Chains A and B, each alone.
Chain A
Amino acid sequence: MTGPVLSIRDLSVEIPTRAGVVKPVDGVSYDIGRGEILGVVGESGAGKSMAGNAVIGLLNPPAHISAGEIWLEGARIDPLQGEAMRRLRGKEIGMVFQDPLTSLNPLLKIGDQLTETILTHLPVSREEAERRAIAALDEVGIPGAAQRIDSYPHEFSGGMRQRVVIALALCAEPSLIIADEPTTALDVSVQAQIIALLRRLCRDRGTAVMLITHDMGVIAEAADRVAVMYAGRLAELGPVREVLTRPQHPYTDGLMASTPLASQARNRLHQIPGSMPRLTDLPDGCAFHPRCPLVQAQCRQNPHPNIGKGRAACWFPLIERAAE
């Protein structure tokens, strides 16, 4: 099969509130191919987690998908409800969240949690499930997997817990893993271990990964392609090296310039004036225009731009300006 593992088309999520309907995700489209890591970056409130939750059907009501389609392995999954969605979750889509403690049941041994997941999703015997559970722990680099299977979550350190969560996400052999800020709660040295692990699993198994994070460094090192989100919309989408070194959207450009570099001596950081607009109070036209240094009349009047020929959802992408 050659098509993308995950394909999102014009996805919108709506939440009715007293102040009117807000759209935390608005017309977002992207694909993730086999063995590919797509980084989704953005600041708080950009809608990056909300898009991930929509894919796995974990939107909290009253939030709901209001438009668009989600395709997984050539099958449309956004209309699925209840039991059908539950079977998909865990089997076809694995999840890794920021806080490993809340993803694990504190009362069950990790071996039981793993075998239960395997038995739910795969037609294997209990012995085979236990064998696979040990193999999964081994694969994510937990030393002495055969013994640690009888441990409880509290007996592991933060980094080891996150490995257990990754083992849980992997054990039913899903085609897609959604990792929502998987290293944000971890220290630098442990973070490097987890990123290396995700990349290895992705390469060896051909699993597609949606890596949601606010950390540009993590994206640069782990992702193949990157989707930059702003106020619920896609600002820029493209290969990670190009987006980060030659951004076409003024927002991506500002974001990169305001990120301090470890390799560079002290200078004044670039500032993007203002802050992200509230979703209840989005400006007309391009959502970024009140903060954009290169804003023109068209940005205020025209509807929000879509990603056209280039990578950026911008009426005047930086590449054209450079050519002028």
Chain B
Amino acid sequence: MTAYVTVKGLSRVFDVSKPWLNRVLERRGKAFLTAVSEVDLDIEERTTYALVGESGSGKSTIGRMLVGLLRPTGGEVEVEGVNLDRETDRAKVAKVRGDIQMIFQDPYASLNPRWRVRDIIVEPVAVKSGDTEGLAERLLEQVGLHAADAGKFPHEFSGGQRQRICIARALASEPRLIVCDEPTSALDVSVQAQVLNLMSDLKEEFGLTYLLITHDLTVVRHMADRIGVLYLGRLVEEADPTTLFETPKHPYTQMLLNAAPRIDGFGREVDPPQGEIPDPINPPPGCAFHPRCPIARDICRQERPRIRPLGATRVACHLAE
């Protein structure tokens, strides 16, 4: 197996300063928010890599940099061995870009209400003046809708059906990698099951690679081949699902798994985790998790842990063993 996507030292900083006049009047400097900080990861071909984390952990920002909606501030993203940010051969970049598609969280906001479903689905092919004859009808059947639905408008469909249309659109250009940003978070449980099963089937059928971005640990357990846990823009732990769920190494992963409600956790008395995610504009020094960590020592406050291999896991913690 080869790494289809290679991410090295990836960082993204947003300038969140107030307008210059406010800064002068209030005597404040510029403010920078580090959304993603030095993330390294590889995604193997034909696997599902899941990024999990709470809000503000930078998981969507990584997805957006991968598809090229945002430019990295530092580090590199290579897809099929091509650095999309630096590569000068435009034909090469265009080829790789065509292999990447994205599915968004809100199926209501990501379909143009004035377009017919047929036009929405064939758009990725039509812009490259490809052959769109019968394409929409074929794809609609593939995602479990009817060919006759191609003439309808998005408002005629339910949330789950709209997400199927989004998936059909993503498949139209025959991509190899699909970045799915919270694909089922807006859906009800029974509809979520339908969409997740569909995604698994399509992966087998087309040999797709997924980057699955979600906050839902149960979805990750079902879908992922490899899981990366993010905290405050940093990759703190990475492992396969069984290893991660059965022997989590990082104290944050342990806290997250313990806090997640379980449908078999009747009357479970959890010690709720202490504190909340710190301000990403002024992250704590050293390990970002140390103010909430039950086992933090002096070294955690001073030195940022590098991610290191530990058995089947990669973990960024000084004390994990």
Q: Any chain A CB within 8 A of the CB of B263? A: yes
Q: Is the CB of B193 within 8 A of A275?
A: no
CB-defined contacts of A267 to chain B, threshold 8 Å:
222
Complex CA gap A304/B176 in Å reads 48
Complex CA gap A215/B265 in Å reads 13
Q: Is the CB of B193 within 8 A of A221?
A: no
Which one, A1-9, A64-72, A191-199, is touching chain B?
A191-199
Q: Is the CB of B272 within 8 A of A221?
A: no
Q: Which of B116-168 contact A (CB under 8 A)?
A: 158-161
Complex CA gap A221/B258 in Å reads 12
Complex CA gap A266/B48 in Å reads 12
Q: Is the CB of B263 within 8 A of A244?
A: yes
Most buried by A among B197, B217, B260, B263: B263
Chain B residue with Cβ nearest A43: B188
Complex CA gap A271/B262 in Å reads 20
CB-defined contacts of B268 to chain A, threshold 8 Å:
221
CB-defined contacts of A260 to chain B, threshold 8 Å:
193, 196, 218-219, 221-222
Give min CB distance, B216 to chain A, whole Å.
8
- A216, A264, A269: the one contacting B196 at CB < 8 Å is A269
* Contact mask for chain A residues 241-259; partner B; CB cutoff 8 A; 1 contact, 0 none: 1001100000000111011
Q: Is the CB of A264 within 8 A of B221?
A: yes
Q: Which of A218-264 contact B (CB under 8 A)?
A: 218-221, 240-241, 244-245, 254-256, 258-264
* Contact mask for chain B residues 157-188; partner A; CB cutoff 8 A; 1 contact, 0 none: 01111000000000000000000000000001
Number of chain A residues close to chain B: CB under 8 A: 46
Q: Is the CB of A217 within 8 A of B188?
A: no
**B contact residues, range:** 35 or more
Chain B residue with Cβ nearest A241: B266
Complex CA gap A199/B303 in Å reads 39
CB-defined contacts of B262 to chain A, threshold 8 Å:
217, 220-221, 261-263
Answer whether A271 and B197 are a contact pair too, CB < 8 Å, given A187-B54, A262-B257: yes
Q: Is the CB of A190 within 8 A of B276?
A: yes
Complex CA gap A160/B275 in Å reads 10
List 7 additional A-B contacts (Cβ < 8 Å) besides A191-B261, A217-B218, A268-B200.
A192-B272, A192-B273, A244-B264, A262-B262, A265-B242, A266-B222, A275-B190
Give chain A's interface residues, CB within 8 Å of chain B. 43-44, 157, 159-160, 187-193, 195-196, 214-221, 240-241, 244-245, 254-256, 258-272, 275-276
Pick the 6 closest A-B CB pairs, nearest first: A217-B261, A258-B193, A43-B188, A192-B259, A187-B54, A260-B218
Give chain B's interface residues, CB within 8 Å of chain A. 54-55, 158-161, 188-194, 196-197, 200, 215, 217-219, 221-223, 241-242, 245, 255-257, 259-268, 270, 272-273, 276-277
Give 22 CB contacts A-B under 8 Å.
A188-B215, A189-B273, A191-B259, A214-B189, A215-B261, A217-B218, A219-B263, A220-B262, A220-B265, A220-B266, A244-B263, A244-B264, A255-B189, A258-B189, A260-B221, A264-B221, A266-B241, A271-B193, A271-B194, A272-B190, A272-B193, A275-B158
